[in-house]
Structure 1
Amino acid sequence: MAGFAEGVPCWVDAQLPDVEAGKRFYGALFDWTFEDSTSPEQGRYAQAYSEGRAVAALAPKRDGRMPTVWNVYFATPDAYALARRIRAEGGQVVTEPTPVGPFGTVALAADPEGAVFGLWQGGTRPGFEKRGEPDSFCWTEVYSRDKALVDPFYEAVFGYGGADLADAGDQFRTWSPVGSPPGPDTAIGGRSLVTGQFPAEMPAHFLVYFNVTDCDAVAAAARRLGGRLRAEPFDIPYGRMAVVVDDQGAVFAVLQDPEA
């Protein structure tokens, strides 16, 4: 398995009240199969596979007060050094870097507005075995209110090259890894400004996207499985997307490529 450059999304997991219910929902929605972890370091962690390749995981919430969410993890060769940079740039380290057996080292952090993201220093498990293909992760973006606070944070912490989309003004900014020319062709994620169309109480957060072959069909299937839609299918320059809330409250997006 190939490694991931620092700052590149390398894994996602959902923190759920009921992992077995999550396996039923996502197994039917994305045709994922699951393998339960018996590792004492990981706890009960259901690894999801698409076509036999690792794509995500479902984990039980350890505390009922924790949000039901999809988390994105960014690769790093040194989680401890990255945690120090996060603090130095005004972020918070929510959980300190912790080794997970031979698999890698994990931590959770928050940006200056409170959006939570993960860090993963890969060991025997670098991260995704499938991405950018149907039924796997393809994109993430952070929803923020203060670009003057958030953009410098991520660009200093990960060394991203940032580029505002020409047709979106400063509403949307893409981020490209170190060594890549900034722009949509090399972007691995981005920042979207929270505007008046969003609820005032909505906190800063990351949205995880999964690639699908038919956005409308997946949206309809999510409803049949007990989920709901936060945003009905609509067209964007990069395809057709919808924002889905699963049957336990975790939010994610699906994106159909324009060619599809």
Structure 2
Amino acid sequence: MSQPFVHLELNTPDLAKAKAFYSGLFGWTFDDQNMGPAGTYSMFKAGEGPGGGIFSMPGTPTEKAWVPYVGVEDLKAATDKGASLGATVVMREQVVPGHGIFSILVDPTGAPIALWQATGSK
């Protein structure tokens, strides 16, 4: 696969409840990251597949949804191409210091998808 899924993210209105559920169901453990005013971001690694995070941010476009992140070589070009193919760009080129940058799109059918360019790519 040329552009693999690299990260999965759950936005939920109840972070504690979600962590308890996924910990109980899959045995996931979480590494909580303090994001300041944005709250807590709980990172997890799910065995052999991509890891992800769970956070609580009410009112965002993907509330109560899993959002898959797909790795790309050139985030700006991929974001622009998605828009040209009918996607709505919800969030454009956001920096995650020390890790990479991402954009969030909603495809023409209404499903969210995120694009990720790791630091050092391109």
Q: Report the TM-score, using the length of structure 1 for normalisation.
A: 0.41
Deviation sequence 1:132-191 (CA, Å, 0-9, x none) = xx51111101111112211111111111111101x426521011347xxxxxxxx71220
Give the alignment's Cα RMSD to 1 decimal: 2.0
SS in 1 for 2:7: strand
In the alignment, structure 2 segments of 5+ residues that lack a partner are: none
> Aligned equivalents of 1:253 and 1:211: distance in 2?
9
> Aligned equivalents of 1:252 and 1:195: distance in 2?
18
> Aligned equivalents of 2:108 and 2:91: distance in 1?
15
Aligned partner of 2:41 among 168, 172, 187:
172
Q: Give identity over the alignment, percent.
A: 24
> Aligned equivalents of 1:176 and 1:232: distance in 2?
26
SS in 1 for 2:30: strand
1:216 counterpart residue number: 76
2:117 counterpart residue number: 256
2:51 counterpart residue number: 188
SS in 2 for 1:230: strand
SS in 2 for 1:135: coil
1:244 counterpart residue number: 105
Note the C-alpha offset of 1:203.
Answer: 4.3
Q: 1:221 to 1:174 in 2, by over 3 A?
A: same
Equivalent position amino acid for 2:51 in 1: I
Q: Report the TM-score, using the length of structure 2 for normalisation.
A: 0.83
The count of corresponding residues between Structure 1 and Structure 2 is 116
> Aligned equivalents of 2:23 and 2:41: distance in 1?
15
For the 8 Å contact 2:10–2:54, the answer to whether it is kept is: yes
SS in 2 for 1:172: strand
SS in 1 for 2:24: helix
Q: 1:203 to 1:242 in 2, by over 3 A?
A: closer
Larger Rg: 1
Higher relative contact order (CA 8 A, sep 6+): 2
> Aligned equivalents of 1:142 and 1:191: distance in 2?
5
Note the C-alpha offset of 1:248.
Answer: 2.1
